Amino acid sequence: MLFNDIPGLDPIKATLKRSVATSHLAHALLFDSTVGGAGLAMGLAFATYINCENRSAEDACGVCPSCIKMQKLIHPDFHFIFPIASSKKIGGNTSEAFLPLWRSFLSEGPYRTLPQWLDYMGAENKQGNISVEESRGVLRKLSVKAYEGEYKILMIWKADIMNASSANALLKILEEPPEKTLFLIISDQSDRLLTTILSRTQRIHIPAFSDRQVMEYLVQRGYPEPLSKQATFLSDGNLSEALTLVKEQQDDTYALFADWMRSCYKYDLARLIELADHFDTMNKERQKALLEYSLRLYRDMLLWGQGAGELLRVPEEVLTFVQNFSKAVSFDALGKMIDEINKAYLHIERNVRAKMVFLDLSLTMAPYFKIK
């Protein structure tokens, strides 16, 4: 990851590069970004820059042995801690055991979120966590001298999910840091960090991407322009969300949703059973995504019903759907349907059989279409 790979944010890049040039490095930096923002990418670019054997005022070289090792996340002076959860794929309960999987996850891009990582590692229905053992194990990792560079770097992604004992173990290390060690703490929910940790770090505030930056990023990656434009419009500077949206579009969630709702509207029982069977074969993340998508559209219908249609951020085709469906359902019923979808979402999270949940939801929703 190089600074140049990250869209925009030039003032932040300049500040970071200057801190290296003038050797004014704080021993702990907090990369405080928005969800789907550049926190992780910026942290990686900064670590690469620090370790580069041939850096310029502009950027790391990207080709020296150190840059290559950083690119592969195998640099011996670079350590990573991130949330993990027990998974069928991996035996072990530290970040180290998950490192190969983590590397392949990040090779797909640095604009990722915790739910994506949990999904990727096959953490079934579990929250990720950073254990207190992990925090303590850090000291062992950092007690050896740097192998190649001047600094040892420890990056902690999603430090905000640490519980009190893990956070306190980390705090202890930040209070008496090993020599020549840099802590790069990455958070997209910094309000959840202990104030005592905040006070020990230099905070680098990283704003969300602008629409133009998101758009350029998507187009450069070969996504069709209309699709990119739409995803940019909908994602509000959340690059992770934008990427998910363009992919989601390919999965055609909307087509599935529309088919489902039309079948509810027509009370086509045979089709509703088929669809429930189909939803049952999807993985849990897709099931939740479909329900989230449904919630989003139902909220849009509420807005439309209240005459606030100009606030809607949906593509043309979906807008027509929203308009038509808001005519078919009463305002009151919309509220109840949203409650039902939320309930279904909870049931999916609690591992109720998806086929039952979706069929039940279909049969509960269908009568609402007739009421108006």
Contact 209, 183 (CB under 8 A): no
Terminal Cα-to-Cα distance of the chain (whole angstroms) = 55
Q: How far is the CB of 99 from Zn ion (least distance, A)?
A: 22
Least distance in angstroms from the C-beta of 53 to Zn ion = 5
Please identify, among the stretches 63-71, 90-98, 165-173, 246-254, the one whose residues bind Zn ion according to the rule CB under 5 A.
63-71
Nearest residue (CB) to Zn ion, 55 versus 347:
55
DSSP 7: -
Task: Indicate the DSSP class of residue 184.
Answer: E
Q: Is 245 in the site for Zn ion (CB under 5 A)?
A: no
Q: Which of residues 105-164 bind Zn ion (CB under 5 A)?
A: none
CB 25 within 8 A of CB 196: no
> Which three-class secondary structure string do you get for 90-158?
ECCCCHHHHHHHHHHHHCCCCCCCHHHHHHHCCCCCCCCECCHHHHHHHHHHHCCCCCCCCCEEEEEEC
Q: φ, ψ for residue 28 (rounded to 5)? A: -135, 125
Which one of the spans 51-59, 81-89, 131-139, 162-170 is the region binding Zn ion (CB under 5 A)?
A: 51-59
Nearer to Zn ion, 43 or 305 (CB): 43
* Smallest separation, CB 98 to Zn ion (Å): 27
Q: Is 61 in the site for Zn ion (CB under 5 A)?
A: yes
Residue 146: CB minimum distance to Zn ion, A: 16
> What does the alpha-carbon distance between residue 357 and residue 203 come to, in Å, rounded to a whole number?
45
Q: Which is nearer to Zn ion, 64 or 146 (CB)?
A: 64
Q: Is 60 in the site for Zn ion (CB under 5 A)?
A: yes
CB of 213 to Zn ion, least distance (A): 25
Taking residues 11 to 50 in sequence order and writing x for each that binds Zn ion by CB under 5 A, - otherwise, the string is ----------------------------------------
Tell me how far, at minimum, the Cβ of 20 lies from Zn ion, in Å.
Answer: 13
Alpha-carbon distance of 117 to 115, in angstroms, equals 5
Stretch that binds Zn ion, among 30-38, 66-74, 196-204, 243-251 (CB under 5 A): 66-74
The residue within the footprint of Zn ion, chosen from 52, 208, 272, 297 (CB under 5 A), is 52
Q: Which of 256, 229, 231, 246 is nearest to 321 (CA)?
A: 256
- What tokens does 111 get? 């604009």
**DSSP of 8-19:** S-HHHHHHHHHH
CB of 65 to Zn ion, least distance (A): 8
Of 57, 77, 254, the closest CA to residue 152 belongs to 77
Total residues in contact with Zn ion, by rule CB under 5 A: 6
Binding window for Zn ion (CB under 5 A); candidates: 64-72, 110-118, 249-257, 270-278: 64-72
DSSP state of 189: -
Q: Which residues pair with 157 in a beta bridge?
A: 186
Q: What are phi and psi of 252, to 5 degrees?
A: 65, 45
Closer CB to Zn ion, 59 or 119, in the complex: 59
Among 67, 322, 341, 361, binds Zn ion (CB under 5 A): 67
The CB-of-47 to Zn ion minimum distance in angstroms stands at 12
Q: CB of 82 within 8 A of CB of 135?
A: no
Smallest distance from Zn ion to CB 80, Å: 19
Query: Which residue ranges make up the site for Zn ion (CB under 5 A)?
Result: 52, 54, 60-61, 64, 67
